[in-house]
Amino acid sequence: MITAVNRPAALHINLAAIKENTRQAKDHLKPGQKLFCVVKANAYGHGAARLAPVMEEAGADGFCVAMLDEGLELRRAQIVKPILVLGLQPAEEAALAAANDISLPVSSLDWLKKAEKVLRKEGLQLKIHLAIDSGMGRIGFSEDEDFKAVNEYLQGNDAFFVEGMFTHFASADSADASYFDYQVKRFKHMESLLTVKPKWIHVDNTAAILFDKDVASDIVRFGIGLYGLNPSSAPGSQDLEPAFALKPAMSFVSELTYVKQIHKGYGVGYGSTHIAEEDEWIGTVPVGYADGWIRKFQGFKVKVGDTYCPIVGRVCMDQFMVLLPKEVPAGTPVELISADPAAPNSLRRAADWLDTIHYEVACQFNDRLDRIYDNE
């Protein structure tokens, strides 16, 4: 996908905010804990290859990604610190991961057997983390006998280095701790079955550290908080108070490329879902659903100059239209997303409008959008 650098539309990423959020997390660690920054999904839409060195400078001890390709991107960006892939990868890719010193999760004995054949052929050793399904229902060991069999298989097996054991909490961001406590209990049970000794045992995610969940973890996998966003945010709910202040890093700016007056009875956009009830001023913004600014944003208010204006008509592939209170010149700045968490067009408010979470909004902004990094 081509990045549109010649279009007046870009995501602005505040590097000072990224550094501050990373340092805050680092300072909040318990003695001996490591900070692994989660930069999957292109650093939640913020730009992984550009931000990983910034996080490293601010104190990151390692990085987490969702897939091997994301880890390889970090290695190409000259990141040398540990990288852990959180999602399962084909066993055939074990040698590629090992050759690039990237750790992979393990969720079955069958996977280990297939991976070992690949590793033996290449004469490589793979760092692995044993994934435990303590109640997320996604990946990982959940049955005692399966986990015991894997431990037995790994005893003295030099094709693998057991670097870690981990799980992921489904509800560490909830005020109701009952299911969190259940998962902790399940994980501790699986830990008691270990006969191999991992270097790191880790469970803490962003929510666990921000809301001071008291559970032992050698690594904190810090994700959405790096970007200044509260993991407890959800439509119709009040954010939980984090242990330390977060500073949002992303804003989304463009400008009006065209302004015209339409007359009563004129329609705007595909399907003419907006019909002018009187003469109106309409402005066009060069952003559309092909950029991740989806059609459900119809009706959402963006800031045009100093005024919040509603999106009228359906969002098009490459453009959308806003209803202006009066004639304003083409070139007037438009702020689609504000980095101010109190603004009506913050990522949180945009997510509320779409009836989703801000994770999804940030991640759907794709590579057609230019990313400009400020305050280095």
The residues annotated as belonging to the active site are 40, 270
Distance of alpha carbon 348 from alpha carbon 339, whole angstroms: 10
| Amino acid in position 317 | M
CA 56-50-54 angle, to 5 degrees, is 25
Q: In 208-262, at which residue ranges do the beta strands (DSSP E only) sit?
A: 219-222, 250-255, 258-262
CA 48-54-60 angle, to 5 degrees, is 90
Residue 93's φ and ψ, nearest 5 degrees, are: -95, 5
Distance of alpha carbon 82 from alpha carbon 8, whole angstroms: 38
| Amino acid in position 109 | L
Beta carbons of 218 and 225 less than 8 angstroms apart: no
Beta carbons of 240 and 173 less than 8 angstroms apart: yes
- For the chain, percent helix, then strand, then coil, each to nearest 5? 30, 25, 45
Distance of alpha carbon 374 from alpha carbon 50, whole angstroms: 12
Going from the C-alpha of 204 to that of each of 71, 132, 352, the distances in angstroms are 21, 13, 27
**CA-closest candidate to residue 105, choices 126, 123, 120, 124:** 126
Q: Which two tokens stand for residue 339?
A: 């980095």
Q: Own/partner pairs for 92-99, CB < 8 Å, 24+ apart?
A: 92/118, 93/68, 94/118, 94/119, 94/124, 94/126, 95/119, 95/121, 95/122, 95/124, 95/126, 96/68, 96/72, 97/68, 97/71, 97/126, 98/122, 98/124, 98/125, 98/126, 98/127, 99/124
Q: Which two tokens stand for residue 143?
A: 């049955």
Q: Is 207 helix (H, G, I), strand (E, B) or coil?
A: helix
